[in-house]
Structure 1
Amino acid sequence: MPYFRHGWDDTMTESKKMAYGGQAIVEGVMFAGKTTTVSAIRRNNGEIEYYEVKKKSIPILRSLKKIFIIRGIAGLIEASSVGMKHLNYASDRYDVNPEDDETAPVEKASSSKWGMILGTAVVGVTSFLFGNFIFTVLPAVAAGGFTPIFPGHVAQNLLEGFFKLILLFLYIYLISLTPMVKRLFQYHGAEHKVINTYEAGVPLTVQNVQRHSRLHYRCGSSFILFTVIVGVLIYLMVPFDSLAERIVHRLALIPVVLGVSYEVLQGTNKVRNIPVLKWLGLPGLGLQLLTTKPPKNDQVEVAILSFEKLLAEEKHSAEPIDHNAV
């Protein structure tokens, strides 16, 4: 899931802490900062292994991320590129016997080429768009079948949104039954707990982290849910005369829905500390009850080590270079 957490969080202290983001990976957690992304995984022998990737500045993405609504799509591309690299790394390494390390070398992040960066971005975005295609076409067809019972533009859009929610919840529930995804969701919960602990200004210990919530307003799960809600509202403004026209409109508007949903996600995060408005983010938090699971202490430990490694790397990158040093 896209993490969408870069930038300064105005809802925190006056010093404006960096709004770090992350995602769960196979047997570990990845965290992203301003200049670096770091993941930590627990190998099958219990050892912790780190993987670091310095962020590559792509001029066109940097420019697009300054444009309202479009910046959400640009952020999705960037998050997919980075996330896929860490996910592939974890998948390849977590169950490799340490004795086989010499025969199974890992490519260093510093040697990554533009082709690999763009390739992983394409794979990630394509997968995401394919998922959106399925979650767009099937509900539209299903709702169209109930036209005799629920005629009218408004009724059809609401029914389509209802089918999307059912499909989304059913999909997440079914995949959560598999052991691998269940552990992935536990690491997802550990990631959120670490972020919440850090943003609360509490020392990062296993005990402190476990006391904090596994839900977070900026989570990519909330973003996915918002695409359904925002989609219903946007589709209400686009009339259609046939099922084919309806599907074409839905597919063509996917970028718009994604961009607006990103802005809604950011908006709910900014008002999360305002009692009257914090309820706006509750639907997304509700979905996270499915996409996160209570983590075990050893999983929290991995998440803490990953985040502390990121903080150390970010601090090192921010230190001025002493040109007089010998």
Structure 2
Amino acid sequence: MEATVVCVDNSEWTRNGDYTPDRFQAQSDAVNFLAHAKSQANPESAVGVLTMAGRAPRMMVTPTSDLSKVLNCTAQIEIDGDAVNMGAAVQIAHLALKHRPNKNQRQRIVLFAGSPISEEKDALVKIAKKLKKNNVAVDIVSFGCEAENAEKLQAFHSAVTSSDNSHYVSVPAGAILSDVLISSPVFQGESGAGYSGTGGMENESYEFGVDPNLDPDLAIALRVSMEEERARQNAAAREAAAQSGEAGPSGEENPATAPAPAAEAKQGAKAGEAMEVDDEDPLLQEALAISMQAIGDDVAQAGKTGQAAVEGDVSITDDDAQLQMALQMSMEGARQGQKEELDRASVLSVAARRP
């Protein structure tokens, strides 16, 4: 959980087109991706934006967990001034971090340097030591003038780092700035957790392209949607099979496809207890038994090892906690919002199967 202030270089030097499409736009894209990475790493993290050029450094937005404010802020930044005032900008960023609302957040400054730095090396080192004393980590991204600024920025980095909590990244001309930073320590963080990203940058090794460790709510919602879709498809297939003539020539059900009477009656009784229906309605009991059997079929198709109904709740004998939670959420939604619709559809299905 961090509070981060991103220092943006908005000097006239950033109009240079040696990065695609130019230094300023490449930097803006990298800042947006960085804000996404920080918010996904921990929803309680906060990001602020500060511009370094112009008459004086300007705090565009103080550290906030509202990602939309950061994205709107970066879209409003304009190129202004011939040079950056790195020393003053870093100290203002430190002041903003010092007054962060959540004192449990670690302090970090991400400094983008895309133009020549005018401050002396000794002055920068003095500021860096002050930041180190106050436990402020600084990530430095040097681009555009990386060779010219290398000595000053490396000295600054050496003075501010403590237990490798600060990082220095130099991006050569012609490279895509955001692509280089995504695989760098600036985005990976101290834990090396990485960035799953959005908009086509997901790690394809995860189911649905979403890392459940970074966004568990989205992963569960997608899993629930998948299970509900399977249930609908299975119900439609069974109804179509019943209407197409599963019954034999004598009008009796095919023994190979007919459910076992004892098992069906047992499932119907437990379903009736879970859904709080009238036990004296055998037709509705049978419909609910078929509904519960459909859920069991879905679990079996998902590769689960067992299915049981215990006191009205569905439990899965497997270590897949997320699937268990998804099924519980799906069942709870069925109980509260769709019970009448499910009962009515099941009764119609049973009526259609009877001679």
TM range (shorter): under 0.3
TM-score, scaled relative to structure 1: 0.27
Structure with larger Rg: 2
Q: Which has the higher strand share?
A: 2
TM-score (norm 2): 0.25
